[in-house]
Structure formats: C-alpha cells, structure tokens
Amino acid sequence: MTIIENFFNGPQGDASLIKLRNEAGFGADITNFGATLVSLFVPDRNGRMRDVVLGYDRPADYLDNSAAYMGATIGRYANRIANGTFEIDGEEYHLPLNDHDNTLHGGFKGFHSFIWESEVIETAKGSAVKFSRLSPDGEEGFPGNLRVEVTYTVTPDNALCLNYIAETDYPTVVNLTNHSYFNLDGAGNGNIKEHEILINADSYTPVNELLIPFNTEKSVENTAFDLREWTQLSTAFARLDKGFDNNYVLREACHGAHVPAALVRSAESGIEMEVFTTEPGIQLYTGFFLDGSINGKYGCKYQQFEGLCLEAQHYPDAPNKPDFPSTLLLPGKKYSQTTTYRFKLS
C-alpha cells in the first residue's frame, strides 16, 4: 500500500510524504525533502507498532533543523573530508568547512537540504519510491554533474531496502549513506543504553581529535571498540564516555545480502534489527551530541544517547587516504550500493 500526502511548503516548493506499507502493517514514511526517512513502523513482541527512528513532530522542523540530518540521505560525500580539500588527477578542490576545519556530510548544502524528484514504483521486492536529483558541477565545491537515485523499498518480510545509484560526467568523489537515528524501543521512549549491539568487524579506522582517520586500520582486539560479540551499550559507554562515532572495517563476508554487518536488539521491545550492506565500512554514532535542544517526536527533547546511527559507507576522508577503498567515480562508470535494515523479534 502506498499513500502520498503533502508534508510542508518551503522555499524550494512543496515537500511530500510517501507512506509505504506491507500487508502486515510494517512500513516507512519518507519525504522527498532530503530523501529523508521520517518514520519506520515495526511490530514489537506484543504486536504493537513502534516508530523506531528519531525525527520531529512538526514537518517544517526537517527544514529548520536539516543540519541534524535526522533520517536524511547524505551526499555528495558522507562523513568527513579533512580541511575540505582533495585532489583528482593533480587538480585540487576546495569545499566549505562546516565541521571545524573539515567538511562534513557534503557541506552546508548537502543532499539532505534539497527537494528531490520522486516516483512511486512497484518492484519484485515490494512497494517502493525512487528519489532522484541532479547535483550540478561545482555544488558545494564538488566537480562534475552527478545524477543520483535513491530507492526505498518496503518488503513483505519486514525489511527496508535502500538502493543508491550515481553517474557523473566528470571525475568526482561519491560516498552516499542514510543518517537515521534508531531507537528500537520507539522514538521518545528513552535512551539506547540498554540496547545490545554486534558489529562484524575485526578492525576500525582510528581518528584524531577532529574525527579525521589516520591512513591506517587498527584491530579491535583488546579495545573498547570490540563489538564482535553482543555488547550492551551501557557497558561500552562505561569505557567510552562520549560513546561511539567510529568507522568499522567490515569483514569481507559482510559485503552483500547474506551476512549482517551489524545487529541491534532491545530486550524491552523484543525488536531486533539486522543491517546488510554492500559497503566496506559502517559508521556507528550513538548520539553524544544530542543535547536536549531539538524538539523531537511525541513532544520529547532528544538527549544524549537517545538514538544510534549505523551509516553504511566508504571510509571517512578516503579521497585523501590512498590506502582506503577508493571513492573516485569516473564518467561511464556507475556508483551503486545497497543497504537493508531487516527487523524481527529477538
């Protein structure tokens, strides 16, 4: 089932809300503003639907607070680029600095801040909506005209599948992801400290004080970053007082649809989420910078650790790190990645 409604009216035009549901009622509400996931309804152990992503009660807050990236599609480059600078074939490009001396999530006007074209489609997997936009040459300093598509699909087995495609007419860098904050007890139902998490990664990319990685990977063995076994987040936070904001190097077996890159579960709701991706890395961010200043869903103000992000991605600052998987996209080549969030009862 698919329903389309008006969401809000803004300076770029009208934003719509597309509601996708399967026969069991599992489903997603997505807006064409920022190709953003607004709500994700998942049945708990008692059959009650819980909205497991953070967001806002007031639709216009997605426009006013777009820099919080709640549920948004992130591009042209997700995560950080050091000093807002990179080179392609000896030509240097300079991006706006919106995170100290670095560029974060594509700059001030990243993909999260635009209204996208939208098309409701039916696929073999289920009901879907395809968002597309042309990111023009020079947008936020990035070279090349980049045509981007993001398709959200709700499947019969209670999964939300995100498929990204991009093509360019000039060499550029691309790194796309989704920035949803998950709380498996439901948005507005407290923090995630009692959630348990598992990430299938034997190493991570250590960072400096500005969260820029060094040109290396480090084993998680005997560190606070070892999440290869089920770990309660409160236990992890006892060792990391600011929580996580780290890129994990996924095991090669996770690069696809068969082995989950990450799993999260809540004993309170009984909901378990599995994350599958074709990407080489995943950023775990546990919401340390949520400070009570954001008016969230159901009348609450989001505090620290009220949601976690699992951002499937190439590594931060990869354009400046020759040993990292490349994010270079050339004319005639196609960028493609798929990330799936599948839900079940634990």
pLDDT tens digits in sequence order for the chain, 346 residues long = 788 899 999 899 899 999 999 999 999 999 999 999 999 999 999 999 999 999 999 999 998 887 789 999 999 999 999 999 999 999 999 999 999 999 999 999 999 999 999 999 988 889 999 999 999 999 999 999 999 999 999 999 999 999 999 999 999 999 999 999 999 999 999 999 999 999 999 999 999 999 999 999 999 999 999 999 999 999 999 999 899 999 999 999 998 888 999 999 999 999 999 999 999 999 999 999 999 998 999 899 999 999 999 999 999 999 999 999 999 999 999 999 999 999 999 8
Phi-psi label, residue 221: left if phi above 0, alpha if psi -120 to 50, beta otherwise: beta
pLDDT at res. 2: 87
Contact assessment for residue 184 and residue 269, using Cβ atoms and an 8 Å cutoff: yes
Give the pLDDT score at 123: 86
Which domains, and CATH codes, for the chain?
Answer: 2-345 (2.70.98.10)
CA distance 165 to 334: 7
- Contact, 71 vs 65, CB < 8 A? no
DSSP 8-state class, residue 180: P
* Catalytic residue numbers, as ranges: 179, 311
Q: What is the predicted pLDDT for the residue at 65?
A: 83
C-alpha dist (Å) from residue 148 to 94, 136, 160, 165: 22, 11, 19, 6
171: its two tokens? 């060499």
Tokens of 277: 């991706």
* pTM, rounded to two decimals: 0.97
Residue 295, phi then psi, degrees to nearest 5: -80, 110
